[in-house]
């Protein structure tokens, strides 16, 4: 018995001895944010180091990232600083992998992701005012990366591009007589891409002409895209400029009108709008002409474009001809205006601007990096005018820098203006935002399902019941946030 006990003790001691081995970063106290900022970013570059950069997949596949690191490595060759591809999945788990030394040094992510890491102190607050891009990026974009701790504001990311929903449509699928019948204001822009009332009417017509084709199609279940309709009529996510999770505002103002607009749009679609199907099939369905229009973010332009090129090539065009034709016919434009009344069947409605949920993608620096100053130098380099301009040329992003946006003009400038005007509602940068998605999906799914239910089975029969549904959704979000806290 005594021998057995001794053996057990030896085993226990061995296990605890082993568990003490290895790196100790996981338990290191990262300390106060102010101290970190002042002491870590001393300005003295760490020499002869390799920094791992996690970039966006599209930037890698289109070759932009290679150009960026080549240019950076050439510039910083004298210090022996080399930037390399972190070679990781873009949906990494810095909170779990970082402490053990397996995360990247610099990461490119959306503001909501970065700010969740910021709250867990997995990324460093940055001395952003030292960066070249500081004065060129609007205040609203910087705010997306700011966090208040003990009354002090820290900025944890550097904005690169603004993401917001855009309308994609095929010019060659417009009716031949669109200039006569679908351009009331004779501005050479089809009415159906200018306002939702005409988009609704066109969708009904197109489907009636051919039961296999549709006008506007989008997964309504997608909170990111659907919530913009609520915001346009006075809804919001969190109060106090998206910082107060006690105040949940999806049902505020006349947001129920937005839900009503969605329910009317659902009636012109098929049942794929209930779940995520349209989000994934839109590329090929827009290319083969089944859908006339859909909504997506600017970074998916190349995917829509490639699908359309494939379709034209399958029709017998050469690659060059197919690309030229796709460039001419695939249009990415702003979201149409909404009727103030919320009634898509209203003739000559008073129109209001559409708002949309958006995000700011940018760079952040991991708290676990051993070369913070070299990382900051990389971020500074990657956000300079030349690199952001190159990024736009290669990837078609809408830059957060004002000078680049002005230079490019067109859509980028209009997105920038929307951001400035507040028509792009940036995703909140607090961790509670994680609780809005599931209740939101449930509500929007029911709105979409109602279009395919008989009148007696509909969950939301009128605008008042939609308002009640939105209030219930807010309550569910509130419960989720404060139960899980």
Partner 1 sequence: MIKSNSAGKIIDTTLTYVCLIAVAFIFFFPCLWIVLASFSKSGSIYSFDGFFPTSYSIHTFKKLFTDTTMYNYPRWFLNTLFVAVGSCVLGTLLTILTAYTMSRFDFKARKPMMKSTMVLSMFPSFMGMTAIYILMTQFGLINQIWGLILIYAAGAPMGYLTQKGFFDTIPKAIDEAAKIDGANSAQIFWKINLPLSKPIIVYTALTSFTWPWSDFILPKLLLKEKDLYTVAVGLMSLDETEFARFAAGSVFIAVPIVLLYFCLVKNMVNGIAEGAVKG
The residue ranges that bind partner 1 (CB under 8 A) are: 18-19, 21-23, 57, 60-61, 87-89, 92, 97, 100, 102, 280-281, 283-285, 288, 303, 307, 310, 314
Instruction: Round to whole Å and give the CA distance between 258 and 163.
Output: 21
395 vs 404 by CB, closer to partner 1: 395
Among the listed residues 173, 192, 171, the one whose alpha carbon sits nearest the alpha carbon of residue 181: 192
Q: Residue 365: in which H helix or E strand, if any?
A: strand 356-365
CB of 231 to partner 1, least distance (A): 27
For residue 294, which phi and psi values (nearest 5 degrees)? -150, 175
CB of 54 to partner 1, least distance (A): 11
239 vs 289 by CB, closer to partner 1: 289
CB of 287 to partner 1, least distance (A): 9
Query: For 119, how many CA atoms within 13 A lie in the half-sphere containing its CB?
Result: 12
278 vs 430 by CB, closer to partner 1: 278
The rounded Cα 366 to chain-centroid distance in angstroms is: 21
CB of 87 to partner 1, least distance (A): 5
**44 is written with which tokens?**
């003295």
91 vs 347 by CB, closer to partner 1: 91
Beta-carbon contacts of 376 under 8 Å, excluding residues fewer than 6 positions away, are 41, 126, 127, 130, 131, 365
39 vs 66 by CB, closer to partner 1: 66
Beta-carbon contacts of 449 under 8 Å, excluding residues fewer than 6 positions away, are 274, 459
92 vs 424 by CB, closer to partner 1: 92
Q: Which residues face 170 on adjacent strands? A: 330
CB of 68 to partner 1, least distance (A): 15
Instruction: Round to whole Å and give the CA distance between 485 and 480.
Output: 8
**45 is written with which tokens?**
């570059």
13 vs 35 by CB, closer to partner 1: 13
**34 is written with which tokens?**
């102010």
Place of tokens 């005007």: 421
Within 20-63, where are the H helices? Answer: 33-40, 57-61
CA distances from 88 to 105, 106, 161, 371 (A): 12, 12, 21, 19
CB of 163 to partner 1, least distance (A): 17
Question: Is the separation of the CB atoms in 54 and 88 below 8 Å?
Answer: yes
Quote the radius of gyration of the chain (alpha carbons, Å): 25
Beta-carbon contacts of 145 under 8 Å, excluding residues fewer than 6 positions away, are 111, 114, 115, 118, 155, 156, 157, 158, 159, 360, 362, 364, 429
For residue 391, which phi and psi values (nearest 5 degrees)? -60, -45
218 vs 467 by CB, closer to partner 1: 218
CB of 280 to partner 1, least distance (A): 5
19 vs 348 by CB, closer to partner 1: 19
Q: Which residues face 356 on adjacent strands? A: 424
Instruction: Round to whole Å and give the CA distance between 380 and 363.
Output: 10
CB of 33 to partner 1, least distance (A): 26
57 vs 346 by CB, closer to partner 1: 57
CB of 50 to partner 1, least distance (A): 14
CB of 373 to partner 1, least distance (A): 25
CB of 331 to partner 1, least distance (A): 20
Instruction: Round to whole Å and give the CA distance between 427 and 238.
Output: 10
98 vs 359 by CB, closer to partner 1: 98
């Amino acid at each position: 018995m005594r021998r057995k006990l001794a053996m057990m003790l030896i085993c226990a001691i061995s296990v605890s001895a082993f568990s003490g081995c290895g790196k100790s970063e996981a338990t290191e106290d990262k300390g106060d944010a102010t101290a970190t900022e002042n002491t870590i970013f001393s300005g003295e570059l760490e020499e002869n180091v390799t920094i791992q950069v996690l970039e966006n997949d599209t930037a890698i596949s289109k070759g932009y990232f290679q150009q960026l690191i080549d240019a950076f490595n050439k510039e910083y060759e004298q210090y022996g600083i080399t930037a390399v591809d972190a070679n990781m999945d873009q949906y990494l788990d810095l909170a779990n992998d970082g402490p053990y030394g397996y995360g990247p040094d610099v990461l490119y992510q959306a503001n909501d992701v970065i700010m969740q890491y910021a709250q867990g102190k997995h990324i460093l607050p940055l001395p952003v005012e030292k960066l070249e891009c500081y004065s060129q990026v609007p205040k609203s974009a910087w705010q997306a990366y700011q966090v208040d701790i003990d009354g002090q504001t820290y900025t944890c990311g550097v904005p690169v591009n603004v993401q917001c929903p855009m309308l994609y449509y095929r010019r060659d699928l417009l009716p031949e007589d669109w200039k006569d019948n679908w351009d009331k204001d004779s501005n050479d822009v089809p009415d159906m891409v200018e306002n939702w009332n005409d988009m609704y009417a066109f969708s009904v017509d197109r489907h009636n002409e051919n039961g296999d084709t549709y006008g506007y199609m989008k997964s309504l279940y997608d909170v990111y895209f659907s919530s913009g309709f609520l915001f346009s009529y006075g809804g919001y996510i969190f109060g106090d400029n998206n910082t107060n999770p006690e105040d949940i505002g999806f049902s505020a103002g006349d947001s129920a009108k937005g839900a009503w607009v969605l329910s009317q749009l659902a009636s012109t679609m098929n049942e794929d709008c209930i779940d995520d199907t349209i989000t994934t099939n839109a590329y090929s369905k827009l290319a083969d002409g089944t859908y006339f229009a859909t909504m997506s973010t600017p970074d998916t332009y190349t995917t829509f474009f490639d699908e359309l090129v494939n379709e034209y090539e399958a029709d017998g065009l050469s690659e060059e001809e197919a690309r030229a034709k796709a460039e001419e016919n695939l249009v990415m434009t702003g979201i149409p205006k909404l009727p103030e009344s919320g009634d898509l069947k209203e003739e000559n409605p008073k129109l209001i601007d559409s708002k949309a949920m958006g995000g700011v993608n940018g760079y952040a620096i991991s708290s676990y990096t051993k070369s913070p100053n070299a990382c900051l130098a990389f971020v500074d380099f990657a956000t300079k005018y030349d690199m952001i301009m190159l990024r736009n040329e290669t990837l078609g992003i809408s830059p957060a820098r004002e000078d680049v946006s002005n230079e490019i003009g067109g859509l980028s400038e209009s997105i920038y203006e929307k951001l400035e005007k507040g028509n792009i509602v940036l995703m909140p940068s607090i961790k509670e935002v994680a609780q809005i998605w599931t209740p939101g999906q449930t509500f929007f799914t029911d709105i979409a399902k109602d279009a395919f239910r008989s009148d007696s089975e509909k969950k939301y029969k009128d605008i008042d019941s939609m308002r009640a549904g939105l209030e219930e959704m807010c309550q569910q979000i509130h419960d989720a946030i404060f139960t899980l806290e």
